[in-house]
Amino acid sequence: MMRSLYSGVAGLKTHQTKMDVIGNNIANVNTIGFKSSSVLFRDVLYQTTASATGATPTTGGTNAAQIGLGTKVSSVQATITENGAAQSTNNPYDLMLNGESFFVVSRGGVNTFTKVGNFQVDGAGCLVTSNGYQVMGWQVDPENPGQIKKDTVSALYPESAENKVSSPEQTTDSYMTGNIDFTDPDLTSTDGKAVSVSIYDALGYSYTVKFKLTQDQNQADGSLYNLEITSIRDANNVEMLGNDDPTTADVVEGGYQAVFQNKSTDGTTIQLKFNPDTGAFEYAGGADESTALLNISPMAGSDKGEVFKSSINGEPVEGITIDFSNLTMYESDGNATAKMVRGATDSSGTGRSMGTLNDVSIDTSGKIYGVYSNGETKLLGQIAVATFTNPMALEALGDGMYMATQNSGEFDGIGQSVDEDGGTMTQGVLEMSNVDLSAEFTEMITTQRGFQANSRIITTSDSMLEELVNLKR
Q: What is the reported pLDDT for 466? A: 82
Q: Name, in order, each residue with C-beta under 8 angstroms of 233's C-beta and a sequence gap of 6 or more.
A: 207, 208, 210, 239, 240
Please state whether 343 falls in left (phi above 0), alpha (psi between -120 and 50) or beta: left
pLDDT, tens digit (0-9, with 9 covering 90-100), for 63-98: 887 777 788 888 888 888 888 999 999 899 999 999
Q: What is the reported pLDDT for 464? A: 85
Beta bridge partners of 187: none
Among residues 152, 164, 104, which one has the least CA distance to residue 383? 104
pLDDT < 50 stretches in the chain: none
What are the two backbone dihedrals, phi and then psi, of residue 216, each rounded to the nearest 5 degrees? -75, 115
SS (H, E, C) 229-271: EEEEEECCCCECECCCCCCCHHHHHCCEEEEEECCCCEECEEE
Q: 367-372 and 377-383: which strand pairing? A: antiparallel
DSSP annotation of 133: P
Coil, strand, or helix at residue 374?
A: coil
Among residues 343, 342, 375, 380, which one has the least CA distance to residue 360? 380
Q: What is the reported pLDDT for 422? A: 87
**Residue 176 to residue 294: CA distance in whole angstroms:** 13
Mean pLDDT over the full length of the chain: 90
Coil, strand, or helix at residue 57?
A: coil
**Residue 35 to residue 113: CA distance in whole angstroms:** 13
- 119 in Cβ contact with 129 (< 8 Å): yes
What's at 280, amino acid-wise? Answer: A
SS (H, E, C) 381-414: EEECEECCCCHHHCEEEECCEEECCCCCCCCCCC
E-state strands within 115-205:
119-121, 127-129, 134-140, 148-155, 165-166, 173-179, 193-200
Q: What is the reported pLDDT for 247? A: 67
pLDDT, tens digit (0-9, with 9 covering 90-100), for 100-142: 899 999 999 999 999 999 999 999 999 999 999 999 999 999 8
Coil, strand, or helix at residue 368?
A: strand
- Give how far Cα 194 sits from Cα of 209, 226, 291, 331, Å: 11, 12, 20, 19
Q: What is the reported pLDDT for 228? A: 94
